[in-house]
Each structure stands twice: as C-alpha cells, then as structure tokens.
A and B are shown apart, each in its own frame.
Chain A
Amino acid sequence: MLKSLKTLHRRICQLPIEKVVQASSANIQHFSTEYDKYQIKTEFEGRPLYLDAQATTPMDPRVLDEMLPYMTAQYGNPHSRTHAYGWESEAAVEKARTQVANLIGADPKEIIFTSGATESNNIALKGVARFYGAKKRHIITTQTEHKCVLDSCRALEAEGFNITYLPVQTNGLISLEELDKTITPDTSLVSVMTVNNEIGVTQPITEIGRLCHAKKIFFHTDAAQAVGKIPLNVQTMNIDLMSISGHKVYGPKGVGAIYVRRRPRVRIEAIQSGGGQERGIRSGTVPTPLVVGLGRACEISQQEMKYDHERIEILSKRLLDRIFGELSHVVRNGDQVHSYPGCINLSFAYVEGESLLMALKDVALSSGSACTSASLEPSYVLRAIGADEDLAHSSIRFGIGRFTTEEEVDYTANKCIYHVTRLREMSPLWEMVQEGVDLKTIQWSQH
C-alpha cells in the first residue's frame, strides 16, 4: 500500500497540473488517512529542495577552497606581530578587507569585521546613539526592519532615547516625505534596511542617503540581504554605516562586517571591551578563516553579480508565471518593481500557511523570517504593510539563489499549485467563495 502511494505521489508531482487537479479529488481520501503526522516522511524520498535563500545560503565551493588553508596549516593569530604565522594571517585578513571594501565602493580602512549582521546592526545603532547621546537623542527607523534593529532600538528606548518607527506604505516602501517630516534637529541616526528579508522590497536608499546627507544626519542601512546581490556604493548612495552578513552572500556563518565612514568621520562607542582589535570598535581576535571566506564571497559576488542576477530574474519569473497562471486569489506581498527578484513572498487566500508548509515538506520554504519561524503569529512585516490577517497567515516566502535550478523551481511550482488546490478543495470558505459569497459580509456567530 505504502509503496503504491509513493509511486502515485511521485507521479503526481510530475504530472501536468490539469491532470493533477482532476485526480486530486479522488485522492484526497488517501492523503488525509494515510499521511498522518507520523508518516509525513514517506511523502518524499530524499532531501528537500532548498528554496530559502533569505534565511541562509550554502557556502560556495570557491569560498571553502579559499578558507581551508587557514583552517589547517595557516593558523596564526592575525594580531601576532612577532612571527610569520601572524604575518601571513594578517595579510589574508587585510586582503579580505579590501575585497569587502571593493564590493561596496569603500576604503578598506572603513571595514570592520564582526560576527554577523546582528552584531553590526547593534554596533551601528547603539554605538552611534550612545556616542552622540549627550547632544542628540532621536533615532528614526522603520517598522519592517529586522528584529535585531528593532530590538536594539527597544534597548535604546530603555536608556531614554526617542525612537520613531516609520510606518511603510502598502507596497512595503517608506515615504520620503514622511521621513523628511520626522527628522528633527535632535535626530542623530536614520536606519533603513536596503532589501527586506521577508518581502524583498528595496527601499529608495539613494534618496534617503541624499536626504540624510543634506540634513547632516548619519544614515545606516542593514544591507545583509542586498550586498553582493544588487549594486551598492556607499559613496554615490551617501551611506555612513552599512551592515554586511557573510552567510547571505554564499560565505561562512558567524562572520559579517560593518562599514563605518571615515570622511566625514562617524564615531562609535564600542559595545565590546577587550584587546582593541578592529580599531577598538570590535575587540576580539579576528577569525581568519571566516574573514577570508567573507572576503572571497564578496569578490565572487562582485564578479558574478550580473550573471547571478539575470538568472535569478529568469527563475523568479518562471515561478511567478507558473503559480499565477494556474492559481487565482494569490497576492504577491510588497512592491512589484522595487524588489529583489530572489525573494518572492506570496499569500494564498483560503489556505493556511502552516498547512501548506507542512504539505510542502519536500521543499525547504519559510513563512517569513527564520528568527520568527517558530511562532505561529503572522509576521509583523506583513502586518506593517497592511495585509489582511488571513492573508498574513497564508504567506510563503520563496528564496531563489545562485544554486537554484529550473528543475527545482518547476517542482516547487507544481507541488505548490497541487497542494493549494487540494487544501482549497477541503476548505468550506473556498467553496463559499466559488459560490459567489463575499466572506467579508458574513456575520459569524458571536461568542
């Protein structure tokens, strides 16, 4: 029985969708009885496909190749000045610094290695706020920032700083006029992320940079999702501080960087005390292998940016065309134009997101940020863009990366279409919608 089900399932995944939909009503019985939670693994054979490029990316083999010598033979402390082990590690770290700087148009002296974008964001927000805290006590950020920016702001609020959380429009972008109005003489820092991790929208960084530059306010951007994927230049975009993450650019986990402008100088109060490495801003021995990996990852991203972007655009369009071609009542969250094509956030009406994710066990997807994926709460980003509660609950993020193939996209689209259709067939709400009932007009029994 199990074996026949497996083959049936495999067949279904590959059939053209019309056939699947025809067959699905007959098979629903099987799915609901046989595929209980203890047997969910029998639904697929083999590892799930990876379509969660916003959570993390696999390390590029070229990056690992660069790192391995520093994990084996060349283990010197880059801060040891008295021997060759130290010198070779230091040279490697400085080369990596140049590679990171080149990618964003900065000077190598302006790059400080950290443990990741979370630490970079903490240093940027708390560091700037505290250093200039005696004179300026206002910080502006947006409601759709990453948790670590919002949480740093909460911590600053507790220290007595005033924080403005700018709302976003329904397309996920902030309004420049609103930002302009919010800036006061007391404002020390504006922090707006470049590419949103959940809905992929790209904020108007150049315009925000120009505005902040004109008003002489520091501008920080969390570019973890953007670095290496879209062209960024700290000079032309007037960025004063930028957070970079290693594992979002096909580099190693546990490493990141922060760009801190030198002219005009942005001063920062260090959070971590210690040996004064990284110009005193981030004490602690620099992890040579990780930093070398980050540097190489940035170099590759720079060389491959055009190639990768063209490909991701094609795959993204392929996925969207398939899904929108076969399914109705699907909403793409976030702006269609000002967005990074590798991050697609879709809401499937009348389908519960978690059930769909469970059904799509053989594709690694997420309903939003990995940090919040444990909770069943709808994402705060989707709430901030004003998505209806039910749509916010039914959202799924598709992350396409350098190593995603056409085959994977097709499989994902087919499975997604099949399961959305199947789940909708079971939904009484969907039935009512098909009969032409407007769900919003229904008076549900009060209790």
Chain B
Amino acid sequence: MVPKSQILNLYKSLLRESQKFASYNFRSYAVRRVRDAFREFQNMQDPEIIRNKLSEAYKNLEIIKRQALISQMYQSDKLVIENIPRSIKS
C-alpha cells in the first residue's frame, strides 16, 4: 500500500510544477488535468492500478518540469484575458 503522504506530495508537486508553464493555455490545462486525474482515482482501491497510475504520474511530473522550462524560455506576450485586472473581472 502506498502511503497517503507520498501521493499527496506527488499531487502537490504536480500542481506546483504545472503552475510554472508560461503559456496560459498549457498552464490551465496542466493544472486542470492533474486535479481531474487525481479526483477520478481518489477512491481507487486496486493496488495494481494505483501503482500504474503513480508511475505514470511520476513520468508526467518529469515531462511537466522540462516543458515548463521550455515554455519559460520561449515566452510570448500574455494573452488578452491575462491582462484584464482582477478588479474589473468580477
């Protein structure tokens, strides 16, 4: 059985690294996809599936780290919706 703290840690680092995408669309997708994937499997009991999903998640964490870096290296201007101040948004 994988300890809960390990899963929680993985979840947190995935979210933290996803936030580092410079591109708005990739960033929001990564954060949303990570959340949805963990939510989808939160009640999973089958240790085999959990193990598979975890190793997949560790692979994805590495991809996100690398790609977020690339995204920062080749930044473009912010999107028009990113430039709207929060005060006007609400």
CA distance A199 to B72 in the complex (A): 36
Given known pairs A62-B63, A65-B66, A65-B67, the reply for A46 and B79 (CB within 8 Å) is yes
Given known pairs A65-B66, A402-B29, the reply for A307 and B84 (CB within 8 Å) is no
Contact between A49 and B88, CB atoms less than 8 A apart = no
Contact between B81 and A408, CB atoms less than 8 A apart = yes
18-62 of chain B: CB within 8 A of chain A: 21, 24-26, 28-30, 33, 36, 60
Query: Does residue B78 face the partner (Cβ distance < 8 Å to A)?
Result: yes
- B-contacting 9-mer, from A9-17, A136-144, A158-166, A287-295: A9-17
Which chain A residues lie closer than 8 Å to B80 at the CB level?
Answer: 44-49, 362, 411
Contact between B81 and A49, CB atoms less than 8 A apart = yes
Query: Does residue A61 face the partner (Cβ distance < 8 Å to B)?
Result: yes
Which chain A residues lie closer than 8 Å to B71 at the CB level?
Answer: 61
Closest A residue by C-beta to B89: A14
Task: Using C-beta atoms within 8 Å of the partner chain, give the interface range for chain A.
Answer: 20 to 34
Report the minimal beta-carbon distance from A275 to chain B, rounded to whole angstroms.
Answer: 34
Contact between B77 and A46, CB atoms less than 8 A apart = yes
Contact between B63 and A61, CB atoms less than 8 A apart = yes
Contact between B81 and A407, CB atoms less than 8 A apart = yes
Report the minimal beta-carbon distance from B75 to chain A, rounded to whole angstroms.
Answer: 11
Which chain B residues lie closer than 8 Å to A20 at the CB level?
Answer: none
Query: Does residue A405 face the partner (Cβ distance < 8 Å to B)?
Result: yes
CA distance A10 to B85 in the complex (A): 9
Closest B residue by C-beta to A15: B88
CA distance A48 to B25 in the complex (A): 12
Contact between A403 and B36, CB atoms less than 8 A apart = no
182-214 of chain A: CB within 8 A of chain B: none
Query: Does residue B7 face the partner (Cβ distance < 8 Å to A)?
Result: no
Contact between B63 and A14, CB atoms less than 8 A apart = no
CA distance A407 to B81 in the complex (A): 8
Contact between A307 and B78, CB atoms less than 8 A apart = no
CA distance A49 to B29 in the complex (A): 15
Chain B at the A interface: mostly helix, strand, loop or mixed?
Answer: helix
Query: Does residue A58 face the partner (Cβ distance < 8 Å to B)?
Result: yes
Query: Does residue A257 face the partner (Cβ distance < 8 Å to B)?
Result: no
Which chain A residues lie closer than 8 Å to B29 at the CB level?
Answer: 402-403
Report the minimal beta-carbon distance from B18 to chain A, rounded to whole angstroms.
Answer: 10
Contact between B36 and A405, CB atoms less than 8 A apart = no
Contact between B36 and A307, CB atoms less than 8 A apart = yes
Contact between B88 and A10, CB atoms less than 8 A apart = yes
Closest A residue by C-beta to B70: A64
Contact between B28 and A47, CB atoms less than 8 A apart = no
Query: Does residue A348 face the partner (Cβ distance < 8 Å to B)?
Result: no
CA distance A408 to B64 in the complex (A): 23
Contact between A64 and B25, CB atoms less than 8 A apart = no
Which chain B residues lie closer than 8 Å to A49 at the CB level?
Answer: 79-81
CA distance A45 to B79 in the complex (A): 8
Report the minimal beta-carbon distance from A21 to chain B, rounded to whole angstroms.
Answer: 18
Contact between B36 and A47, CB atoms less than 8 A apart = no
16-37 of chain A: CB within 8 A of chain B: none
Contact between A45 and B83, CB atoms less than 8 A apart = yes
Which chain B residues lie closer than 8 Å to A58 at the CB level?
Answer: 25-26
Report the minimal beta-carbon distance from B65 to chain A, rounded to whole angstroms.
Answer: 10
Pick the residue among B21, B66, B79, B85 that contacts A47 (CB under 8 A).
B79
Query: Does residue A50 face the partner (Cβ distance < 8 Å to B)?
Result: yes
Which chain A residues lie closer than 8 Å to B67 at the CB level?
Answer: 61-62, 64-65
Report the minimal beta-carbon distance from A340 to chain B, rounded to whole angstroms.
Answer: 20
Contact between B26 and A411, CB atoms less than 8 A apart = no
Which chain B residues lie closer than 8 Å to A408 at the CB level?
Answer: 81
Which chain B residues lie closer than 8 Å to A233 at the CB level?
Answer: none
Pick the residue among A13, A47, A64, A402 that contacts B77 (CB under 8 A).
A47
Contact between B63 and A46, CB atoms less than 8 A apart = no
Which chain A residues lie closer than 8 Å to B79 at the CB level?
Answer: 46-49
CA distance A3 to B60 in the complex (A): 44
Which chain A residues lie closer than 8 Å to B84 at the CB level?
Answer: 10, 13-14
Report the minimal beta-carbon distance from A307 to chain B, rounded to whole angstroms.
Answer: 7
Query: Does residue A404 face the partner (Cβ distance < 8 Å to B)?
Result: yes
Contact between B28 and A405, CB atoms less than 8 A apart = yes
Pick the residue among A46, A403, A404 that contacts B83 (CB under 8 A).
A46
CA distance A44 to B77 in the complex (A): 12
Given known pairs A45-B83, A46-B80, A65-B63, the reply for A403 and B88 (CB within 8 Å) is no
Can you report 21 A-B residue pairs in the complex whose CB atoms are below 8 A from each other? A10-B84, A10-B85, A14-B88, A44-B80, A46-B78, A46-B79, A46-B80, A46-B83, A47-B77, A49-B81, A58-B26, A61-B21, A61-B30, A61-B71, A62-B63, A65-B63, A307-B36, A403-B28, A404-B25, A405-B28, A407-B81
6 tightest CB-CB pairs across the interface, nearest first? A61-B67, A403-B25, A46-B80, A46-B83, A362-B80, A44-B80
